[in-house]
Amino acid sequence: MSFTVFLGNLPTWVTADDIKQWLAAEDLVADAVKVIRNHETQESKGFAFVEAPTADEMQAIIRRFDRAPLEDRLLRANPAQPPKGKEARGPQPPQQQAATPNANRMQQRPDRRKRGGKDREQSPRSAFATELAKAL
C-alpha cells in the first residue's frame, strides 16, 4: 500500500532537497520526495509527492503542512489520488495500427461523419441548408 502525500501550492523555487530539509526539521520521515516539473522548461509546476513509510507518518506530514504558510501562500497537503488516464483504468488491449492517420481517427470515432465529400449526411438540417443545397 502506498502512503503518498500530495503537497501543492508550492513556489516554483522549491526543490526536493528543500522539502526533505523541512521534513527533517519536523522529525518527519519520507521514503522519497518528487517535485513535479515541466518537461520542457524544467520549472516546477508547484506541487510535489512525498512518499511516507506508514499511514501514521503520512497523516503527520499532512497535519504539519496542510495550510502551512510559505511566502504569500498557504500550502496544501492531502493524500495523493491515483493517477487519471490509461494507468488508472488498467491494462488496455493493443490496438491495430491503421494504414493512415485519418483511418485511425475514423476507427476511434466511428459515429462521426466526414465533414466533406460523399460521406456527408444527405438530409439538410435547416431550411437555409435546403436552399443552399438546391443552389449548389
What mean pLDDT is predicted for residues 51-79? Answer: 96
The residue ranges of DSSP E strands in the chain, in sequence order, are 4-8, 32-37, 44-51, 69-70, 73-74, 76-79
pLDDT of residue 74 exceeding 90, the answer is yes
Decide: 61 and 52 in contact? Cβ < 8 Å: yes
Decide: 49 and 80 in contact? Cβ < 8 Å: yes
- In this structure, of 9-13, 29-33, 117-121, the range with the lowest mean pLDDT score is 117-121
Query: What pLDDT does 109 receive?
Result: 52
Task: Identify the structural domains of the chain with CATH numbers, from first to last.
Answer: 4-82 (3.30.70.330)
Query: What pLDDT does 82 receive?
Result: 85
Mapping DSSP to helix (H, G, I), strand (E, B) and coil, where does residue 62 land? helix
pLDDT confidence band for 87 (50 / 70 / 90): low
pLDDT of residue 98 exceeding 70, the answer is no
